[in-house]
Structure 1
């Protein structure tokens, strides 16, 4: 890590904190705003969801612009632009005013793409997951607003509270002007080309789904909890804000923990636990439990969502080394969209049924589907690893079934024998017989396989072109879980062309 990275990480993390503080102004202060501006339940849901929607969509172009122009300019411009909706909302007196201001507030959520695009340039690849986890602590900005804004509003009113955010925005714009990196390395690959490159990788869409659920749950609960706790459990606005802040703090604190766990264990196993936990928690919430059990369910969602967020961004650098910026932007955009839809769906279902059970049950089903997909991806990775080993090992490998029919060979097999995979698969290894070993040699070989499960030694074989060569061969029996032999795997290499055949030396 260079000296620039040493202060870019804290600078950009603090910038994200301020961006997220502004992003959730409307949801944090909604219990106060709706007392002065008449809103239907549907209008209330739209007002709190619109900043999430536009903040999510803007993350893709913001990530691209960061690559071209650098984090310094993007943070500065973003904070200056955010002054407009802050002023507009502070003077709002209608639903339309809140919608217009909310659209521009989306810029506060979009700045997430600035850091995940810029910061990896200052750190080695093996630390990108950890760095993204630390930067993700900027989510605390939503906790600060959820907890702090209602407290301040109870003293100076919600309008003046909104205006006070302008001071923070000006301060951070100035801080980035002074401390931002003026020589950040630009990346000028066209946006369309970058999107085309990453969209071909099916893992991108799976990671988008996973982040849609984990970060989406975080955002959705942040938006939904303050008003729900007041209306459903009759808590005070400040108490609801504090409980929401507790949810946010736990989820945010778990984000670097998720990255840390992903460093030390298989990330897919961590995600299995994450989605299993979310499935159980959502089922619990769907039964409209008491305040105590509701708290347990919400905190379980916070724990799993936070760990999941950190683990997912540990995986991104593994699959997208050349397009990490745009991949991060697209995945984080899907996460934001995951926070846009649930509050609207919950509100619609509540107006239709009088409770939120179906909405939470839907969350449990999406989490369960994600769990199944992670398990599938985990085993796909293992198969891919096995295939890579088979393809890239320097020794020739041939796999037969118990009838002696060749089922698989690797490129080294072709290099040694001259037979392509198409020519070898479906035939028997006898195509390689040189005729130099007698019947007793092969009887001893099979006796060793049956009794010991393996055989190794020197053997004369014949290439496709008729040339006789000496190889060192190891054959192993491959058994299933029941202990039954299903395949035989032979590994061999050419060890010379002179000498006489020898027997089993294993």
Structure 2
């Protein structure tokens, strides 16, 4: 628990931090659009293109945890501003890069957007009133909608000024966000030092790794599906690229924007209860989405009866909309769940969660392709996400059982108590 009193009003710095996150993640969406032009210009293979797209997520996975730790121990505001400014050389480099290796290096530099996320979590947790922490963290987390917005703005800039100008247009929002954050009062002046021994014990806590697993599903698989859905829709429902992108948006936008509502629900109904509800909703939807088109042959009295089971497009849209909404709610509730246990170390905890989420987002698209090649079933991607969700639900079930055992017997496995 936190001993310091909190102001019960929601500080204006929190929406500003969410805007900074939106600006940072907009660079990912911009890069995804720009990568198509890079592939055409350099005649990249599918594997080279996949590695190029995954480069920000891979470096983001490596950077988010140490940046979050620095935010907790050195001051979140300073680390947040530095992380934003670190995007500048990567954006400039993208506009002047020539060969594949240069694009790969500068694209990897965009991974610092994950550092903005983990530092922003620490900044928001230090600023938010305790009883509204879920709403505040969810509002901040909703800033990842910036990646979706840039899917629409980046092509407009590329058409008007050329694709090499696209990164330069992202510079101004980044600089303005850093400037505004610098002008705001430092509401995150409290820092918390952790000894080497204490840090080692901190990492041994199983609860911490469970939260990382939950975020791997709620954030990592969400990002992976956002990148993968347009191609799936084109192949499964014969949509053109524009139509597929519009349908995918119905999954992407609620998957980010509903995070604040999930945090609000967690404040009022309990983070664990909201998380369970989210997982069960996703369980049902992903099971239906995983079911491949099937033809049943029933031997009738006079002749065989063929029954084709296939998910129609309206039903697919509805299921992905519900799944995206649930994932958005889950992001807010899991961040509140982490805050309940680690209010002073949200940068470090959030950084670890984000590291796993980013790594999942980078690896899953590759596994989607492998699963499609092995099984020949397009919906195999949903099967993999369904399997990850099942791991989360099993983990949460045993965690609740362990908690009940501790309540019945306070000495039960007390060395694991956090």
TM-score, normalised via structure 1 length: 0.70
Tell me which residue corresponds to 1:135. Answer: 140
Tell me which residue corresponds to 2:397. Answer: 375
In structure 2, the CA distance between the partners of 1:296 and 1:5, relative to structure 1 (3 Å rule), is closer
User: C-alpha deviations, 1:308-342, integer Å up to 9, x for none?
Assistant: 11111111122224433322221222222221211
Tell me which residue corresponds to 2:407. Answer: 385
Q: Secondary structure at the match of 1:24?
A: helix
- 1:317 is aligned, of 339, 358, 366, to 339
Q: Secondary structure at the match of 1:66?
A: helix
Instruction: For 1:181 and 1:101, locate their aligned partners in 2 and report how far apart those are by CA, in whole Å.
Output: 31
The answer to whether 1:185 aligns with 2:190 is yes
Q: Secondary structure at the match of 1:187?
A: coil
In structure 2, the CA distance between the partners of 1:86 and 1:354, relative to structure 1 (3 Å rule), is farther
The answer to whether 1:268 aligns with 2:290 is no
1:117: Cα distance to partner?
Answer: 1.0
Tell me which residue corresponds to 2:262. Answer: 258
- 1:108 is aligned, of 89, 97, 113, to 113
The answer to whether 1:86 aligns with 2:91 is yes
1:11-30 → structure 2 map (5 Å cutoff): 11-30=16-35
1:165: Cα distance to partner?
Answer: 0.7
Tell me which residue corresponds to 2:322. Answer: 300
Displacement over 6 Å in runs of 4+: none
Instruction: For 2:9 and 2:131, locate their aligned partners in 1 and report how far apart those are by CA, in whole Å.
Output: 18
In structure 2, the CA distance between the partners of 1:321 and 1:77, relative to structure 1 (3 Å rule), is closer
Unmatched 5+ stretches in structure 1: 391-506
Tell me which residue corresponds to 1:174. Answer: 179
The answer to whether 1:225 aligns with 2:229 is yes
Instruction: For 1:234 and 1:98, locate their aligned partners in 2 and report how far apart those are by CA, in whole Å.
Output: 32
Instruction: For 1:155 and 1:361, locate their aligned partners in 2 and report how far apart those are by CA, in whole Å.
Output: 41
User: C-alpha deviations, 1:367-404, integer Å up to 9, x for none?
Assistant: 123223322323333333333599xxxxxxxxxxxxxx
The answer to whether 1:245 aligns with 2:267 is no
Do 1:230 and 1:237's aligned partners in 2 also have CA atoms closer than 8 Å? yes
User: C-alpha deviations, 1:204-262, integer Å up to 9, x for none?
Assistant: 11111111111112211223234554566554544444434332221123212222222
The answer to whether 1:202 aligns with 2:206 is yes
Instruction: For 2:227 and 2:33, locate their aligned partners in 1 and report how far apart those are by CA, in whole Å.
Output: 8
Instruction: For 2:188 and 2:280, locate their aligned partners in 1 and report how far apart those are by CA, in whole Å.
Output: 45
More strand by share: 1
1:58: Cα distance to partner?
Answer: 0.8
Tell me which residue corresponds to 1:284. Answer: 288
1:164: Cα distance to partner?
Answer: 0.8
State which drifts further: 101-110 or 276-285: 276-285
The answer to whether 1:147 aligns with 2:152 is yes
User: C-alpha deviations, 1:451-491, integer Å up to 9, x for none?
Assistant: xxxxxxxxxxxxxxxxxxxxxxxxxxxxxxxxxxxxxxxxx
Do 1:144 and 1:245's aligned partners in 2 also have CA atoms closer than 8 Å? no
In structure 2, the CA distance between the partners of 1:19 and 1:81, relative to structure 1 (3 Å rule), is same
Instruction: For 1:126 and 1:94, locate their aligned partners in 2 and report how far apart those are by CA, in whole Å.
Output: 51
Do 1:211 and 1:335's aligned partners in 2 also have CA atoms closer than 8 Å? yes
Unmatched 5+ stretches in structure 2: 1-5, 294-310, 413-418
In structure 2, the CA distance between the partners of 1:11 and 1:319, relative to structure 1 (3 Å rule), is same
1:111: Cα distance to partner?
Answer: 0.8
Tell me which residue corresponds to 1:215. Answer: 219
State which drifts further: 372-381 or 135-144: 372-381
In structure 2, the CA distance between the partners of 1:187 and 1:389, relative to structure 1 (3 Å rule), is closer
In structure 2, the CA distance between the partners of 1:55 and 1:357, relative to structure 1 (3 Å rule), is same
Q: Which has the larger radius of gyration?
A: 1
1:158: Cα distance to partner?
Answer: 2.2
1:426-505 → structure 2 map (5 Å cutoff): none
In structure 2, the CA distance between the partners of 1:99 and 1:352, relative to structure 1 (3 Å rule), is farther
The answer to whether 1:340 aligns with 2:362 is yes
Instruction: For 1:203 and 1:3, locate their aligned partners in 2 and report how far apart those are by CA, in whole Å.
Output: 28
State which drifts further: 126-135 or 202-211: 126-135
User: C-alpha deviations, 1:251-295, integer Å up to 9, x for none?
Assistant: 123212222222333433332332233233333333264533432
Tell me which residue corresponds to 1:453. Answer: none
Instruction: For 2:8 and 2:339, locate their aligned partners in 1 and report how far apart those are by CA, in whole Å.
Output: 22
Do 1:27 and 1:226's aligned partners in 2 also have CA atoms closer than 8 Å? no
Instruction: For 1:324 and 1:177, locate their aligned partners in 2 and report how far apart those are by CA, in whole Å.
Output: 21
1:136: Cα distance to partner?
Answer: 0.8
